[in-house]
């Protein structure tokens, strides 16, 4: 079982899209084992995006990410990282294919403020989960319908 970190970014709640996106994750057979709503401060954003602090686009992303509530979550399942990256689509809106979360819900044609974050590796997932969740907040559960999802 693989664990990954996902975050629905500002605008998702305001646009009433959280349920649709969560439904896509569940329909893929992945389990949401932790979920909360929070508004981030700059310290947490900088910790989360530590490897990108020097990128020219970082200040725009930082301002965007603190502009409203986010929904961080932990998602588990076989190949969860790869599956979530495929569900999300290309990082930049102009590369996100229709049918993906970013392709369907991100606004504009060129915009670094896409609607969802997904960890890109097991190491990133582990680091990001620890930023947002204590281990006791993660509720792994056995799916009684395993094999049917």
| 81-126 pLDDT per residue, tens | 999 999 999 887 778 898 999 999 987 655 667 899 999 999 999 9
Residue 48 among the catalytic residues: no
Q: Single out the catalytic residue among 48, 52, 117, 145.
A: 117
Q: Is the Cβ–Cβ distance between 146 and 41 less than 8 Å?
A: no
Q: What class is the 2-136 domain? A: alpha beta
What is the residue extent of each domain of the chain? 2-136
Q: Which two tokens stand for residue 102?
A: 């970013």
Give the pLDDT of residue 148: 67
Check pLDDT > 70 for residue 14.
yes
* DSSP of 65-81: HTSS-BEEEEEEETTHH
Q: Is 28 exposed, middle or buried (0-12, 13-18, 19+ CB in 10 A)?
A: middle
* Mean pLDDT over the full length of the chain: 91
**Which pTM does this prediction carry?**
0.91
């Amino acid at each position: 079982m693989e664990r990954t970190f996902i975050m629905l970014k500002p605008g998702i709640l305001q646009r009433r899209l959280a349920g649709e996106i969560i439904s896509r994750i569940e329909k893929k057979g992945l389990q949401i084992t932790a979920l909360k709503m929070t508004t981030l401060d700059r310290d947490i954003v900088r910790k989360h995006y530590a490897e990108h602090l020097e990128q020219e686009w970082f200040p725009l992303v930082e301002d965007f990410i603190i502009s409203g509530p986010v929904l961080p979550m932990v998602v588990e399942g076989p190949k969860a990282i790869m599956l979530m990256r495929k569900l999300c689509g290309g990082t930049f809106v102009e590369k996100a294919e229709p049918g993906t979360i970013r392709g369907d819900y991100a606004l504009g044609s060129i915009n670094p403020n896409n609607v969802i974050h997904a960890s890109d590796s097991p190491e990133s997932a582990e680091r990001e989960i620890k930023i947002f969740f204590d281990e006791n907040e993660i509720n792994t559960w056995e799916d009684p319908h395993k094999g049917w999802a």
